[in-house]
Structure 1
Amino acid sequence: MGELEQAVLDALWDADGPSSGREVHACLEGRDLAYTTVMTVLDRLVAKDVVVRERDGRAFRYAPRLGRAAMTAELMREALEATGADRDQALVSFVGEASAEDLAALRRALADLT
């Protein structure tokens, strides 16, 4: 995902609920973006199944399909699936480069599952 797509997704995550294109555009006002650019990004995120949209009168309201944590987990699963036979090695490499805080969080998560 590109930097602008991530910024739009962050704006949607930070919102209190589904947002209009105008509301997302307003959240990104410091970026000097055209409204049509924001709408194009929203349409691309819908096409990628990252964002869902619902009709609201003549316009649409947009919301992330998943929360931040669930989206991160999905991306991690997709990356692991793409490694094929090297899945174990990818996990070992990831854990080997993890920070002490990340390792502690991983230990807590594993403990919660058992």
Structure 2
Amino acid sequence: MRGFGDLEAVIMEHLWARPDHASVRDVLEALQPTRPLAYTTVLTVMDNLHSKGFLARERIGRAHQYWPTRSRTDYAAELMGEALADSGNPTAALLRFVESMPPEEASRLRGALQDLGAEATDAGPAR
């Protein structure tokens, strides 16, 4: 998996922010005030995102309704996992990343790791 292109990222951000499904027309109208785009451009990019597995779709009437197949958080975690795997030394890369975090983010990470450890302990041994 690679990062999104510029327009792919804008479209995905819009769809992640929506509480419901969206047609190409819905996305085009939302983006028009800041990005003058052709309908066919948005259609092509959304079709490509569907082909890559980032969007699901269902035909309703004459148009498709689209929605993300994974959350923004899941996508970010997948990218981070790939970056670590490609680093040659995942542990060193992760440590370097954590060292570069602002202190408040590092503190939240420590708390989340402690919570995960507590959950694992509470679950007992795996069988």
TM-score, normalising length from structure 2?
Answer: 0.81
Show structure 1 runs of 5+ residues with no match: none
Distance in 1 between residues matched to 2:84 and 2:63, nearest whole Å: 38
Residues 51-90 of structure 1, C-alpha deviation per residue, up to 9 Å, x if partnerless?
111221222111111112122112111222223x411111
Alignment correspondent of 1:74: 78
Aligned residues: 113
Alignment correspondent of 1:55: 59
Q: 1:64 aligns with which of 65, 68, 77?
A: 68
Q: Which has the higher helix share?
A: 1
User: Is structure 2 residue 12 aligned with structure 1 residue 34?
Assistant: no
CA RMSD across the alignment: 1.4
* Secondary structure of the structure 2 residue equivalent to 1:18: coil
